[in-house]
Amino acid sequence: MSDKILLVNGRRVQNDRLTRCELLIDDGKIAAIGEQVTGGEGVHRVDLHGNLVTPGLVDVHVHLREPGFTNKETIATGSAAAVHGGFTTIAAMANLNPTCDTPARFADQVERNKRAGQVKIIQYSPVTVGRKGKQAVDVEQQYQAGARLFSDDGAGIQDAGVVYDAMKQLAKRNLPLCDHAQDDQLSMGGVINAGPVAAKFSLPGMPAISETAQIARNLVIAQATGAHYHVCHVSTKESIDLIRHAKQMGVNVTCEVTPHHLLLADTDIAKDDAEFKMNPPLRRRIDQEACLVGLLDGTIDCIATDHAPHTDKEKQQGFLKSPNGIVGSETAFALLYTRFVKAKIFTLQQLVDWLSVKPQQIFNLPNVGLLRVGDPADIAVFDLAQPTKIKVDQFFSKGHNSPFVGDVVYGSTSRTYVDGRLVYSKEN
Ligand SMILES: [Zn+2]
């Protein structure tokens, strides 16, 4: 078969308008794109039936669990989940066993990702040795081994001196410290947001200040060192207000929000069901609204899923005992499209940008996030017309832990290409 593929009868969004789209893939790259494109002889034509064509989506926050926790997920299943959701580039967190805190381990992990992944995987380096928060890694050595993103995600870095040292090193290369902002002393061992909902279920509450206080401290350190400070999964109104103010002051700060913090609040938790347990927890309705406002006014830079698979058994233990996190790769686009674009709260352009070009820009990722002639043919195709029900038996992830199972959504993925290779297709 020819390696030339012509996608016809698609649509794409440009300047907030849907226009006809045809796209020619040649030798793994985008060779032409426009309202009408001729493929020449021997081209393989694919009819997209009016579906939406977007750049392959970019998710800067996923957990692939390999090595160490392959009962929850593997690089193969996690990347299969990603392409099922239209993602072609994902950034994988370093809460692995062993973690990749030395150049040799980092190189090993990159190799492992390459061997088993069907998508482009950007590996995070931990910020601290062993992710223990006591001593910063050697950033220059990790950089030489290929590390571009740094995070201890899963845990906050408690020691301000360690953050200061890490940021000083990171600033030299203009690399981001991506922070799971959490002060353990202020978390009070909470498993759900502190407030009336926690009280209703008699569960220990995690106060919002455990996040906000840590962000305040780290913003000041970022300002002093000039480092790029990226806040993972921001969740409280006060955090967003602080980041907005810091941006106005010229601090080099960016942040992401998860789909679940945009879609849910703690008052949506009807019973002690750990499918609603994640960290940071679902917050108050006003925090959920602040996340929306922050996205729309540019305080929040992008959306990232925090895809965090666990086994069914682990998640069936209620809020007190279950691990934190929900899966997100396979449902993010459709949920956000259905709840916000169809409801005219965001535009389709905004949603696509927050999931592609915006993460590309804040982390300076090469050759992703745009539909551009000459770039690798990383492409997602979504069906905006046909409703589908979210079902766990259709997940490619090993994790089934999602509070959105049973929801009816528009915008399911119909095709995903990575470097011009068809890696997911709804039809077969
Ligand atoms: Zn986190």
For residue 252, how far is its CA from the centre of ligand 1 (angstroms)? 20
For residue 284, how far is its CA from the centre of ligand 1 (angstroms)? 19
For residue 36, how far is its CA from the centre of ligand 1 (angstroms)? 44
For residue 187, how far is its CA from the centre of ligand 1 (angstroms)? 14
Q: For residue range 327-352, list pLDDT tens digits in order.
A: 999 999 999 999 999 999 999 999 99
| Residue among 372, 350, 369, 371 nearest 361 (CA) | 369
Class of domain 4-53+375-425: mainly beta
Write down the pLDDT at residue 39.
Answer: 84
Catalytic residues: 306
Burial of 6 (0-12, 13-18, 19+ CB in 10 A): buried
Domain coordinates of the chain in residue numbers? 4-53+375-425, 57-363
For residue 261, how far is its CA from the centre of ligand 1 (angstroms)? 13
Write down the pLDDT at residue 40.
Answer: 83
| Residue among 46, 50, 34 nearest 2 (CA) | 46
Give me the residue label for tokens 């050759």.
367
Q: How far is 208 from 281, CA to CA, in rounded Å?
A: 9
The mean pLDDT value for 368-377 works out to: 95
Q: For residue range 286-305, list pLDDT tens digits in order.
A: 999 999 999 999 999 999 99
Write down the pLDDT at residue 42.
Answer: 87
Angle between the N-to-C axes of helices 237-248 and 285-296, in degrees from 0 to 180, rounded to the nearest 10: 30
Q: For residue range 275-287, list pLDDT tens digits in order.
A: 999 999 999 999 9
For residue 2, how far is its CA from the centre of ligand 1 (angstroms)? 44
Write down the pLDDT at residue 36.
Answer: 95
Write down the pLDDT at residue 361.
Answer: 97
Write down the pLDDT at residue 335.
Answer: 98
For residue 126, how far is its CA from the centre of ligand 1 (angstroms)? 13
Give me the residue label for tokens 């360690």.
162
For residue 179, how far is its CA from the centre of ligand 1 (angstroms)? 8
Q: For residue range 142-191, list pLDDT tens digits in order.
A: 999 999 999 999 999 999 999 999 999 999 999 999 999 999 999 999 99
- Any idea which of 229-233, 247-251, 316-320, 366-370 has the lowest mean pLDDT? 366-370
Banded pLDDT at 110 (limits 50, 70, 90): very high
Q: How far is 315 from 143, CA to CA, in rounded Å?
A: 36
For residue 177, how far is its CA from the centre of ligand 1 (angstroms)? 13
259, 331 in Cβ contact below 8 A?
Answer: yes
Write down the pLDDT at residue 251.
Answer: 98
Q: For residue range 253-281, list pLDDT tens digits in order.
A: 999 999 999 999 999 999 999 999 999 99
Q: For residue range 178-230, list pLDDT tens digits in order.
A: 999 999 999 999 999 999 999 999 999 999 999 999 999 999 999 999 999 99
% of the chain beyond a pLDDT of 70: 99
355, 58 in Cβ contact below 8 A?
Answer: yes
Write down the pLDDT at residue 31.
Answer: 97
Q: For residue range 354-371, list pLDDT tens digits in order.
A: 999 999 999 999 889 999
For residue 297, how far is its CA from the centre of ligand 1 (angstroms)? 24
Listed residues: CB within 5 A of ion ligand 1: 153, 180
* Sheet with 253-257, side-by-side order of all strands: 57-62, 87-92, 120-125, 149-151, 176-179, 228-231, 253-257, 302-303
For residue 92, how far is its CA from the centre of ligand 1 (angstroms)? 12
The mean pLDDT value for 14-34 works out to: 96
R_g of the chain computed on alpha carbons: 21
For residue 148, how far is its CA from the centre of ligand 1 (angstroms)? 18
For residue 152, how far is its CA from the centre of ligand 1 (angstroms)? 8
Strands 120-125, 149-151: pairing is: parallel
The mean pLDDT value for 313-321 works out to: 96
**Mean pLDDT across the chain, nearest whole number?**
97
Q: CATH number for the 57-363 domain, one of 3.20.20.140, 1.10.10.10, 3.40.50.300, 3.40.50.1980?
A: 3.20.20.140
Write down the pLDDT at residue 225.
Answer: 98
Write down the pLDDT at residue 428.
Answer: 54
Residue 128 pLDDT more than 60?
yes
Q: For residue range 59-74, list pLDDT tens digits in order.
A: 999 999 999 999 999 9
Taking CB atoms within 8 Å and a gap of at least 24, the contacts of 315-321 are: 315/274, 315/275, 315/277, 315/400, 315/401, 316/274, 317/274, 318/272, 318/273, 318/274, 319/191, 319/192, 319/201, 319/203, 319/272, 319/273, 319/274, 319/277, 320/191, 320/203
Banded pLDDT at 3 (limits 50, 70, 90): confident
Banded pLDDT at 310 (limits 50, 70, 90): very high
For residue 236, how far is its CA from the centre of ligand 1 (angstroms)? 14
4: CB partners within 8 A, 6+ apart: 24, 25, 26, 31, 39, 40, 42, 43, 44
DSSP SS3 for 83: helix
Residue 427 pLDDT more than 90?
no
**Residue 69 backbone phi and psi in degrees, to 5:** -140, 45
The 10 Å CB-count burial string (b at 16+, else e) for 188-202 is eebbbbbbebbeebe
Question: In which region does residue 16 sit, left (phi positive, over 0), alpha (psi from -120 to 50) or beta (all else)?
Answer: left
25: CB partners within 8 A, 6+ apart: 4, 5, 6, 7, 31, 377, 379, 417, 420
Farthest CA pair distance, the chain? 69
Banded pLDDT at 2 (limits 50, 70, 90): low
